[in-house]
Structures are given as structure tokens and as C-alpha cells.
Structure 1
Amino acid sequence: MINNKLYVVFGFFVCICLISCRQQSATDQGVETSIKINTQKIDKLPYFNTPDFAPSWESNTDELEGFHKIPGFNFKNQLGNEITNNTLKGSIYVANFFFTSCPNVCLKLTNNMHELQEIYADDDTIKLLSHTVMPSVDTIEVLKEYGEIHNIDPKKWYLVTGEKEKIYDLAREAYFADDLYKQTNDKNRFVHTENLMLVDKKGHIRGVYKGTQPDEINRINRHIEILKKE
């Protein structure tokens, strides 16, 4: 009688182990599938036309002409030079918004943007564009000093300042960079975003990335290489 009970208990534990192993196997397979999906190579990037960053795909030239583009702008960089759309014409560039006295988030953005500067140091078709959101403080002289401290190449990476209203309008309406503005519609709010935006040679937004995450730089790098082939 005791032996029968032992057999029953032993059989119960065997069943539990088998079920557990099957569940673990299924989990492992799921993780493996997820990894394959996340590392799947792509050969084309979407376009981003709206503040919710819903991807759009170009199917013909006429449709592409109606897609959102970064409008004309005119700012001054850290050398006092005029930076406009024409300055970046024919270039792929990564844009962001920052201010020089920011003690944490902006430093991460700057460090990660600097990595892109190093990767594309010898490629004149790739540019970087950082807009100050505190133009009353971040004058040309302040931006120049900031650039020197952080080893920023002014020929590749433009730190720009200008009229606050124009910078803020560009951030909100062109780059969709102010998430809270979409909720509050408060133009007096301070613009601060961690996003990096990838813009193609024609002025279309083709990628949005969390600029404080070092791993995102690898993704930007891959996406830039895709754009270079278009």
C-alpha cells in the first residue's frame, strides 16, 4: 500500500517536471523568436508625418511630395555663421533640442551625439544639428565655449541659437519634439525632449530615437546607412 502511494507521488512529480520543462521550452522558443524579430534587418525606413509618429510608407512620387518636411529656418551656430535649410541641403542629419546648463539629460544627449560625430567624422554628407531651447542664455559665445569643452566639430555639428518663438515652433510643429504640448497646447511651456530625429536629404523625418540610450546610436547608425543608399 505504501509502495503504491510512493509510485503515485513519484508519478505526480514526474508530471510536474515534464510540464515545467515544456513550459520553459516554449518560453525559450518565444524569447528566441522575439530576438530574431528585434534583430531582423530592414532595407527601407518609414516616413513620420504626424506628432504620434505613426509610420507612413511612400508608394509613389506624388504621395511623397505631400509628406511632412522640416520647413525653412534661419539660425546662428557657435561660430556665428548662418545655418539654414540650404546649409543642410543634400545632407542626412540628426537633430535634437538641448540647453548648455542642463546637468543630466542634455549631457547624455551630447555624449551620444558625439559618438555619431566620431563615427561619421570623415563623411561630409552626415551632419548634426542641436537647437538650444534657452536662446536668451545660450548665446553664440556660450555655444562656442560649450562646443570647445565637448570637442564638438563646428563643421559637422551645428549648435544653433535664434529667436525663442521660432525655435519652439520648429520643435513643436516641425519635429514633433514636445510631447506635453500635444496635451496642454501651452506655448509658454519649456521645451525639453530626449528624442533624436533622423532627417533625410529631402527634409523628411525618417527616424525617432531615445537619445539618452547609448544602444540607440547603433540603430541610428544602421538607419543612416540605409538612407545613404536611397
Structure 2
Amino acid sequence: MKQIFVILLMGLTIFSCKQKAKETQVLALLPYFNSADFTPEWTNKTHKIPDFLFTNQHGKTITNKTYQGKIYIADFFFTTCPGICPKLTKNMSILQDSYKTDNEVMLLSHSVMPWVDTVDRLKDYAEKNGVDDTKWNLVTGDKDSLYNMARNGYFADEDFNKTRDKRGFIHTEKFILVDKEGYIRGVYNGTLEVDIERLKRHIEILKGEI
């Protein structure tokens, strides 16, 4: 009788462990974000980052192909920003250092003041902030293209999402996590250390996806 009890107990323990492992696996998945309200969707993936073509700090053309097959973090800034941008750049630098030898992860910062942020200005900013050009591109280009990408590609302009005012200036603290297929998988406050740590955890989850 005692042996039967032990066998039953072992069976329940194994079943419980398997269930917990299954639950952990289910929880260790990131949602997809397909709209500006950032409602998480677990199976529906309809929105991909649109095709883009910009110019980086060395005058090189940067497109979707540059980031093909890569996990990357995107943000929006301008070089003369006295407010949140220095903090965003500092935290992007932290991410750069964290994934310096990791070929799967890259960074992409878009200027929202391209009429000021020329290639030369971006290059100077990159040098001052220790930007590794093999890992992190600072890009400029046509204003309409950049703003359209921010608003309709990354859903990064909170004010536009509310007002639909195309004349508004984009100033956002969002970091956007994009997977290897070009889908948005996370959004974070790029000024908060706690969100940077959460972002790092989510990158590891993406790496584990099949």
C-alpha cells in the first residue's frame, strides 16, 4: 500500500512539474503590437515595420535589409535636444555595451529634426557619445518619411495618436523592440532604468523563439 502511495505521489509530482514547465513556456512569449494603442495580441501579427530608406552618420544608406534577421531597438531623438534625448542616448549606449559582441542585436535612432541633423552633425554626435557604427545607426533623411515612420511604422508619436495633427513635432521617450521578422514585440520608456532591464529580459525571450 505504501509503495502504491509513493508511486502515485511521484506521478503527481512529475505531472505538476510538467504543467509548471508548460505554463512557464506559455508565459515566456512576447505579444505582437499591431496598432497605436499598443494592445497586445498573442496570435495576430498583421503589422510589420514598413520599408524605409535613410542615411546614417557616415552617409551610408540604411534600409530594412540592414536589419534583416536582427532583433533591434528603435527610438527617436534630435541632437540639440536638452530634455529627454540625453537620457535616451545614455540608455541606448547601455544597450550597445550590453550587446557589443552579440551579432543578433542592433540599435536604430531616427532624427526628428532632419533639417538640423545633417550627416556631419550626426557623425559628431555619434563620436561624442561613443556610438559603435557596426551596432548602432543614427539616421536622418526626408522629414515626411521620418515622421511617417515614427507615427505609422513604430506608433511612437503619442500626441499624433490623440490629435492626428501632422504639423506636430515628435518628441517621444519610447524604445520600440522589433523582432527578426520586422514585427513590434515591445514598447518601453527609454528614460527608465527599470524598463531598460525589462527590455533586456524581453530580448532574451525573443532569442529563444523558434
TM-superposed CA distance for 1:216, in Å, is: 1.1
Q: Distance in 2 between matches of 1:219 and 1:182?
A: 25
- Length, aligned pairs only: 185
Q: Distance in 2 between matches of 1:222 and 1:170?
A: 26
Give the ranges of 4+ consecutive aligned residues of structure 1 lying more than 6 Å apart after TM superposition: none
Residues 32-111 of structure 1 mapped to structure 2, 5 A cutoff = 42-58=27-43, 63-64=44-45, 67-111=46-90
- Residue 120 (str. 1) matches residue 99 (str. 2): yes
1:130 equivalent among 109, 126, 135: 109
- Matched residue, 1:216: 195
Q: Please list every run of 5 or more consecutive structure 2 residues that lacks an aligned counterpart in the other structure.
A: 1-23
Look up the equivalent residue of 1:134 and give its one-letter code.
Answer: M
Q: Please list every run of 5 or more consecutive structure 1 residues that lacks an aligned counterpart in the other structure.
A: 1-39
Classify the secondary structure of the residue corresponding to 2:197.
helix
Using the aligned pairs only, state the percent identity: 54
TM-score by length of 2: 0.86
TM-superposed CA distance for 1:125, in Å, is: 1.4
Q: Distance in 2 between matches of 1:83 and 1:74?
A: 6
- Matched residue, 2:138: 159
- Matched residue, 1:225: 204
Q: Distance in 2 between matches of 1:104 and 1:149?
A: 17
Classify the secondary structure of the residue corresponding to 1:168.
helix
Look up the equivalent residue of 2:139 and give its one-letter code.
Answer: V
Q: Which protein has the larger Cα radius of gyration, Structure 1 or Structure 2? A: 1
TM-superposed CA distance for 1:116, in Å, is: 0.4
Look up the equivalent residue of 1:135 and give its one-letter code.
Answer: P
TM-superposed CA distance for 1:104, in Å, is: 2.2
TM-score by length of 1: 0.78
The range that moved more, 154-163 or 177-186, is: 177-186
- Matched residue, 1:173: 152
Look up the equivalent residue of 1:211 and give its one-letter code.
Answer: G
Classify the secondary structure of the residue corresponding to 1:196.
strand
Instruction: After superposition, give the CA deviation of every residue in 1:111-130 in whole Å (9 maximum; x if it has no partner).
Output: 01110000000011100000
